[in-house]
Structure 1
């Protein structure tokens, strides 16, 4: 068993990965430790911080309960925000795009075309159907520096979201996971694949720099169940691209 102390993000990730809502119970500390293959005592500080923040509470019997999802810090799946905090740097977010549009089809940019077509297919949309695209650049530290950066492109089926979805939210500040929870979706699991490759034309244009080095890609499908449905489906197709891949991002 690993006796190294763990921070509170292990608790937040468990809540997100299991689609827990406010009032839902968490495993007892010993059970939680077994699931993570760590010593129970190594979770003491993580539990204390999450309780102080108001995210979880402990009842008279010692059981842990989700108290407030809104108090969880913004958590992208790879926890870029948490990694930045560990390095003592701030994260700045720039919203590039939040709109309903058809997939990109461009002979000049086959990489972007391929992943947008993959997202369209994963969401189960019919040919010609538009999808919601939310694209954000996140900078670690000063955007003018050579600090690590990431671009997230989330693709969503508009039929699963309110018509006013894009107007109702501030995507520079809000976590999509929180929004899914508020709308009643339960995240069941995530399927992902990562690989290194060269930067594509669209990415160079997006960040307005001549980038010729390798980048790290993440393609992730978020599998969920809806508020009124028992079947599972792809709720979100995420394309994330990291620059400066030597950066120690958190998984």
Structure 2
């Protein structure tokens, strides 16, 4: 799947009548019920709703981490469900970044080693991976913490390392699953300051699943879910594609 030529402001994520169910203990849970939505390149969008409403399932299906039962999902114009599993994995490695609530950093690796790992797995040379990893750590304000392991970092610093790792492959889309959920209010605000700054200075699209109204309020738009369905959305601030730098 080739790199996108989609212009900032054009649809980059499109879902049409998406359904997803899970079976277990003799019951069937309808996690997504006919979800349709569109997100534009360069947008910063929050997905909000009560626990169990399908937010994380939506993120997982949109990103190709999980399959769908019916409907169509297109990412950068490609119907993601039609790709073989290895092609999906390769595409995620090249074009997507992920930021999780609990960091998912390898404890035996230093900050710089965690950040450069996706590049090494993708075949980038060690010297180039180290150079790009240092640049990303500097961008998130952790240049002086490159050799520290996760246990030596605060929660806010660990999340900055996670963001650097998500950005090191210059993704088109960054998915966040409760990225501030394990942080106090001070660190949560600092992380959202960083994410908003990155969104405003790059053409990357951010899609953030969150319970935090403060996080939702920082996004251009909030998509609201209840019982596996989108029930509405709020436009918090105008999305101005011309103001977003190309990337």
Report the TM-score when normalising by structure 2: 0.31
Report the TM-score when normalising by structure 1: 0.30
* Structure with more contact order per residue of length (Cα contacts < 8 Å, sep ≥ 6): 2
